[in-house]
Amino acid sequence: MTADQANPETGPEARTPYGAVRGRYEHGVAVFRGIPYAAPPFGPRRFRPPRPPEPWDGVRDAGAFGPTAPKPPYSEAFAQYLSDPDIPGDDCLNLNVWTPAPDPGARLPVLVWLHGGALTRGSSAVPVYDGYGFARDGVVFVSVNYRLGVEGYGLFPDAPPNPGLRDQLAALQWVHDAIGAFGGDPDRITLCGQSAGAISVGALLAAPAARGLIRRAVLQSGPPEASDRDKVRRMVRRMAMRLKIPATAEAFAAVDRDLLLRTQAEVGRLGSPVLGGPAFGIVVDGDLVPRDPLKTLIDGESARGVDLLMGWTRDEYRLWLVPGGLMEHVDRLGPVALAGAMARCHTGHEVPRGYRALHPDAGAAEIVGQMVTDHLLRVPLHRLADARPGACHLYEFAWPSRLPGLGACHALELGFVFDSGDTPASKRLAGEGAPHTLCEAMHGAWVRFATTGDPGWQAWDATHPVRIFGDGEPRTAYGPRDTEVALWSTTSTAPPPDPAAEIRAPGAEWAAAVRRLRRSVGARRR
């Protein structure tokens, strides 16, 4: 640590709309942490849209990460792979800025990061998300905390929906208004996120209230989508039943916060991308999210002129199934697991038969995992790219983790995106020996995209170019997932709209298979 890093009085200063802040110089870049963009969302503001923070006099110290949003810890099976710091405090609507220099005349490109974590976990303090690499390479980097779980995405009759998404919009507006003082260009903001963060990016791209705030966007391992309102209500009702309270914001606000988190974790224990189950999500609310974001973007009703960079990992599902030995467990369930996947994906036998023909040596878990990954992720992103040729670049991260069984799993790419692969937090997923040249290639693509809109390969067109980041030099493949995606072209990806559809898809039978699979997995997790 240098003398400048140790002494906050010598740190860089910048003025926000609510007061001045003093950060730190670290490795040649200026870092500001824990800057409030909204007031603490508790007390009378609990379950309500964000409000501006109270202005302050003097210079506020911005040397440390601010409080993280309330969240339960990861289960032991996932905690061995994923870091998730917990910083106590109510002032959790805060953000961090890394910048080459807080020079108002610099007008540098800006990258705003929304973390993943299924809208229930994660924060801007995760070590993998260190913004140094972006600032070092000439990009002002901003990472955001927002409300999670029932606090951010509970659906109540006496409170507005989507407060967590409204937090993100407030942060984006703050960046647009304040980032010039940190050297950023408010007309060159790239909004990016992974997993639930990417889903949030998609919703904000489609939101009329965010129009004009986003120049470019990155969606990694998450499509634009809205959750079924009844599914979110069921999550809230199950929590209310366990707590023996009404399913209202007023009643939930009176519950001890730790008890609320424990109840949320227990109710959501059997939910996962593969199994479905109770979960929180962004919902159509007629206001911030007036209709399904994917449909809005495909129809061209929003985000005109916004460049898109979209990607996935080759083996997304392995992070969902490897922890706790679930891959082997699902393989043993065989036909039950495949029936559950058909129910999860609202499809008939033709889709798993197609996957089996394409991958004859794959086990049941791999077939199920790839089916669910394509249904939830690759098919929607292909549809969006097809609707916006020339304005999208797609990629696949295919480098396999050095740890057993993980392959190129969900979230593995993040250490490469941030060029933070040497950190202990990144090694928890990647293992030892992650190739630095791949870090340079992946990180460099994001830097180029934030700077110019061109990450360095052919934009999407009828040939379906996809950049592959794996072993060896990155390469461009043409239509590498087209055969699997085509299996869905004659299959509805939405729940059957009427009873006649049940003749083709006996949903009750397959839903029972999903319930058996969840019970079996639940017993395994215990």
CA 157 to each of CA 5, 153, 250, 300: distance values in angstroms, whole numbers, following the listed order:
49, 13, 10, 32
316 is catalytic: yes
Q: Pick the catalytic residue from 26, 225, 316, 484.
A: 316
Q: Which of 83, 143, 195, 401 is catalytic?
A: 195
Q: Is 26 helix (H, G, I), strand (E, B) or coil?
A: strand
- Report the alpha-carbon distance of residue 485 to residue 463 in Å, rounded: 14
Strand partners, 140: 110
Task: Give the long-range contacts of residues 429-435, CB within 8 A, separation 24 or more.
Answer: 429/81, 429/82, 429/319, 429/401, 429/403, 430/401, 430/402, 430/403, 431/401, 431/402, 431/403, 432/402, 433/402, 434/399, 434/402, 435/399, 435/471
β-sheet with 19-22: strand ranges across: 13-16, 19-22, 59-61
Structure token digits, residue 505: 């898809």
Task: Please answer whether residues 315 and 489 qualify as being in contact, where contact means their C-beta atoms are separated by less than 8 angstroms.
Answer: no
Give the containing element (helix H, strand E) for 513. helix 507-525
What contacts 152, CB < 8 A, 6 or more positions away?
A: 69, 119, 146, 163, 164, 165, 167, 280
CB 232 within 8 A of CB 226: no
Instruction: List CB contacts of 383: < 8 A, sequence separation 6 or more.
Output: 294, 298
Say how many C-beta atoms besides its own lie within 10 A of residue 157's C-beta.
11
C-alpha distances in angstroms, 456 versus 99, 145, 436, 467?
A: 24, 30, 18, 9
Catalytic residue check, 492: no
The beta-carbon contacts of 287-292 under 8 Å, at least 24 apart in sequence, are 287/160, 288/162, 288/165, 288/166, 288/169, 288/203, 288/207, 288/209, 289/161, 289/162, 289/165, 289/203, 289/206, 289/207, 289/226, 290/208, 291/206, 292/225, 292/226
Strand partners, 112: 142, 191
Contact 197, 223 (CB under 8 A): no
Q: What's the rounded Cα separation, in Å, for the pair 74 and 79?
A: 5
Q: CB-based burial of residue 397 (10 Å sphere; 0-12 exposed, 13-18 middle, 19+ buried)?
A: buried
Q: Which of 115, 393, 410, 443 is catalytic?
A: 410
Q: Is 302 a catalytic residue?
A: no
Q: Which residues are catalytic?
A: 195, 316, 410
